[in-house]
Structure 1
Amino acid sequence: MTQKFTVLVEQGEDGYLISEVVELPGCHTQAKTYDELMERTKEAISLYLEVKGIPEERIKFLSLQHIEVEA
């Protein structure tokens, strides 16, 4: 059975890419390249599900917004 998850990707100060799986609290990883990050993220998801299972109450990702403010 396949499942879909929302993954947020950021670049850290050290240049590494960091992924966080929205629906799985604490499920995250990092890598130097995007392709490597996606492979590691899939592995992190598989390990998370193997150990913790799918959370009963899944966080639902609604949207990503860019907001402009005076600074």
Structure 2
Amino acid sequence: MKTFTAIIERDRDTGYYVGYVPEFPGAHSQGETIEELRDNLVEVLTMLMEDEDLPNEVEFIGTQQIVVA
């Protein structure tokens, strides 16, 4: 079992939730609800983890707010 961090945004035009996993290139999806998005991301991650040739070289550190005057 592995734990990944997903970044989730909401598209203002469609209302859909869009998410991606910075630690895993190619791991992104969308859903009408956060629960649907989570299920879709689990499915994508499961498929990507089966491909042993994919690099997993990025380590997610965190988020930070940047203030611009």
- TM-score normalised by length of structure 2: 0.83
Residue pairs, 1:1-71, within 5 angstroms? 2-13=1-12, 14-50=14-50, 52-53=51-52, 55-70=54-69
Distance 1:69 1:20, change over 3 A: same
- Which sections of structure 2, spanning at least 5 residues, go unmatched? none
- Which sections of structure 1, spanning at least 5 residues, go unmatched? none
Q: Which runs of 4+ in 1 moved over 6 A?
A: none
Identity of aligned residues (%): 29
Distance 1:10 1:54, change over 3 A: farther
Inter-partner Cα distance in structure 2 for 1:56 and 1:37: 23
- TM-score normalised by length of structure 1: 0.81
